[in-house]
Structure 1
Amino acid sequence: MTAGLPAGGVVVDHRLAVDAQATGAPAAVARRRPVGALLGLAVATAAMFLLAVAVGSVWVPLPDTLRVLVGADPTDPRWSVVITQVRLPRAATAALAGTALGVAGLQMQTLFGNPLADPYSLGVSAGASLGVALVVTGAGGSAGAFTAGAIGTGRVAVVAAGALGAAVVLSAVLLLARWVRSVVTLLVIGVIVGAAVFSFIGLLLTWTAPQRALQYWTWQLGSYSGVSPGDLVVFAPTIGAGLLLALGSMKPLNALLLGENYARTVGVHVRRLRTVTLLGASLLAGTVTAFCGPISFLGIAVPHLARRLLATADHRVLLPACALAGAVVSLFCSIVAQVPGTGLALPINIVASLIGAPIVIAVLLRASSTVARTV
């Protein structure tokens, strides 16, 4: 039997009615909302991308920005260098990172049935952080000392270490997923492993030189500016592979909304779905972490924004909405982080936390008020 939903989309219609009731929108309005919301998000993504390329320490006029983007010559030749070498890679990185974290966050929240689950719940960020910490401190022996010395001239060592650390943790999680039946247990194990790894990193940094520890903490704060055009050749296809895995799991995840037992009755192979979902979400989050550092709150906040906009839990429209909303929010964070017109730059995590934290708090308050009304 094909893994997916029964004919007629029972799961989608049920969840649509529930979400419409929760948001106060009639069911007919909720059914028409996704198309308009997706079009609006697509326009907002394009507009925010254009602003991210034009805005910075020096404002590039929008007509010149558009000329460079379409391959024409701007009025000032300097704008071509600024846009193609600095701002375009940064904006592309921000859009891809936001897309990846938004989709990965949706996958994790659906899989675990937890509105506070995020792409880093299973310790992928901790694994990447450990890899970077070992390189920065030179604790990996002669290879670690060599790559630590290379950090000053390039990001290859940091990216490779972050990707390897995330891959090791992902492998361990996928291995555990073969024997752990409960997703709640798997989530708890991931949180515990992450906490233990971060404790070891803290211990490691207390024994290293302050300058090297500062390199690690700088990486932890997150940045889109360090991804070069050459990095994008690896970054973009890897994100694309993770998104393809996510697209293939849309219908089974819809069935999972009503519980694992229901999903099994309509032909979903739950264990296989869990493995594919964990692989896709971890690939997306691990890639972003390796290249940009651990970006906080986007993976938690973006799925809730998308659900609120669309008034549905149907992954066939919610997944592209999370991809677009993630790109919009991430691009906005990138613009704010540049502190336009000042020549200063803020770490992405500071801006993302200031934007994402209120959203998460609002979700918790809304959930509490909903529970109070039903009691």
Structure 2
Amino acid sequence: MNNNRWLLLPLLLILLFGLNLSLGSVHIPFKEIVTILTGGESSEPIWRDIVWNFRMTKALTCILAGGALALSGLQMQTLFRNALAGPDVLGLSSGASLAVSLIFMSQAAGISFLRTPNPWTVAIAATLGCTGVFLIMLALSKKLLDNVSLLIVGLMIGAGTSSIVSVLQYISRAEEMQTYLIWTFGSLGGLNWTELLVLASVLLLGGSIALGLVKSLNAWMLGDNYAASIGINMKRARFWIILSASILTGGVTAFCGPIAFVGLAVPHLVKFLVKTTNHKILIPTVMIGGSVLMLFCDILSQLPGSTQVLPINAITALIGAPVVIWVIVRHSKMRV
């Protein structure tokens, strides 16, 4: 492995972070942004509020969400030994989407007391949806001994929840359906500092669990027999891997909506860059890579030179889809 290659990621992270802060519907000179960040007084008082309460929170959300989804994707790909596994492979995002659809399309679901849901209501609903699916998968993991069966069950749960959401959309009113659809596009700019702190705390918990699983993840890459021979408790390791991925995916989905392709694409891009399968190296580099990709997607979504903002999921799909095609071509003989 080229030991200097990973340095590209932190450099890109710093560059894109600064660029992300400098872009927006209101033009603020970069010199003024530096002055504001260093505690100085800006030429326009409103610029300070824009930088600290809008652009900074959005940029930090990009870093947290991108890193969490990428780490979750890495764990899922390692657990299932499947290059096309992603954070939503267990149906967690689908569970969150179902719960949120019940909130937004409340009239269709017969829940008339939630006509004006606030962001915290949506976040709690998404969390409960993820938790419900996680508990189902946890119970099934004790019955299913092989990961392939668990993967298939997760995909089927996702398909089942999606069908229920489709029924709700069909019988709901247009304005309710539109609100839900906007949520499914994903959003990185809607968090305040309190929500950002809660998100950071949740992701810190999930990331800490993942860091403690380095030995198990490395052993998992070499097969069940090898992992068992070096003292890895397979059932316990699988539980903690699923728990960590669920916390990371659920936290991001609760506050940012379902964001696709980042967790699927980033691990492959990082492995192509650093050329290693050691999770002691992969975990931090994948997290930085996820943050870099999310910042880059957010910059593209802002349509530099325009006041319009594209849905973040549209941009991540444009970038992630070619990576998935590349993975399929590269692993044409991969077992599914």
Q: TM-score, with normalisation over the residues of structure 2?
A: 0.96
Alignment of 1:338 onto 2:302: yes
Partner of 2:57: 89
The offset of 1:306, in angstroms, is 0.6
Whether contact under 8 Å (1:58, 1:341) holds in the other structure is no
The offset of 1:140, in angstroms, is 9.0
Amino acid of the structure 1 residue aligned with 2:249: A
The offset of 1:207, in angstroms, is 0.8
2:152 to 188, 194, 218: 188
How many equivalent residue pairs? 334
Partner of 1:61: 29
Tell me, in whole angstroms, the C-alpha distance in 1 between the residues paired with 2:122 and 2:221: 38
Alignment of 1:233 onto 2:177: no
Partner of 1:314: 278
Q: Deviations over 1:181-226 (max 9, x none)?
A: 0000000000001001100110111111110011111101111111
Alignment of 1:168 onto 2:135: no
Q: Is the partner of 1:150 in helix, strand or coil? A: coil
Partner of 2:116: 150
Runs of at least 5 residues in structure 1 that lack an aligned partner in the other structure:
1-29
The offset of 1:250, in angstroms, is 1.1
Runs of at least 5 residues in structure 2 that lack an aligned partner in the other structure:
none
Whether contact under 8 Å (2:57, 2:196) holds in the other structure is yes
Whether contact under 8 Å (2:6, 2:273) holds in the other structure is no
Partner of 1:325: 289
The offset of 1:363, in angstroms, is 1.5
Name which of structure 1's ranges 40-49 and 68-77 shifts more when overlaid on structure 2: 68-77
Tell me, in whole angstroms, the C-alpha distance in 2 between the residues paired with 1:273 and 1:358: 32
Whether contact under 8 Å (1:301, 1:360) holds in the other structure is yes
Tell me, in whole angstroms, the C-alpha distance in 2 between the residues paired with 1:340 and 1:58: 11
Whether contact under 8 Å (2:108, 2:172) holds in the other structure is no
Tell me, in whole angstroms, the C-alpha distance in 2 between the residues paired with 1:366 and 1:350: 25
Name which of structure 1's ranges 342-351 and 220-229 shifts more when overlaid on structure 2: 220-229
RMSD of aligned residue pairs (Cα, Å): 1.5
- For residues 31-180 of structure 1, the aligned pairs below 5 Å read 33=2, 35-138=3-106, 144-147=111-114, 149-151=115-117, 154-180=118-144
Tell me, in whole angstroms, the C-alpha distance in 1 between the residues paired with 2:113 and 2:303: 35
Partner of 2:242: 278
Q: Deviations over 1:273-302 (max 9, x none)?
A: 100000000110111111111101001000
Tell me, in whole angstroms, the C-alpha distance in 1 between the residues paired with 2:259 and 2:75: 17
Alignment of 1:244 onto 2:211: no
The offset of 1:38, in angstroms, is 2.8
Tell me, in whole angstroms, the C-alpha distance in 2 between the residues paired with 1:175 and 1:63: 55
Partner of 1:209: 173
Q: Deviations over 1:85-112 (max 9, x none)?
A: 1111111111100000000000000000
Tell me, in whole angstroms, the C-alpha distance in 1 between the residues paired with 2:169 and 2:192: 28
Q: Is the partner of 1:146 in helix, strand or coil? A: coil
Whether contact under 8 Å (1:57, 1:339) holds in the other structure is no
2:232 to 268, 271, 278: 268
Amino acid of the structure 2 residue aligned with 1:299: G
Name which of structure 1's ranges 100-109 and 60-69 shifts more when overlaid on structure 2: 60-69
The offset of 1:141, in angstroms, is 7.0
Amino acid of the structure 1 residue aligned with 2:90: L
Whether contact under 8 Å (1:116, 1:300) holds in the other structure is yes
Task: Indicate the percent of aligned positions where both proteins have the same amino acid.
Answer: 39
Q: Is the partner of 2:216 in helix, strand or coil? A: helix
Amino acid of the structure 2 residue aligned with 1:145: S
Name which of structure 1's ranges 93-102 and 58-67 shifts more when overlaid on structure 2: 58-67
Partner of 1:24: none
The offset of 1:179, in angstroms, is 1.7
Q: Deviations over 1:289-325 (max 9, x none)?
A: 1111110100100000110000111101011110000
Whether contact under 8 Å (1:58, 1:340) holds in the other structure is no
The offset of 1:139, in angstroms, is 5.5
Q: Is the partner of 2:90 in helix, strand or coil? A: coil
Whether contact under 8 Å (1:135, 1:145) holds in the other structure is no
Amino acid of the structure 2 residue aligned with 1:94: C
Amino acid of the structure 1 residue aligned with 2:80: F
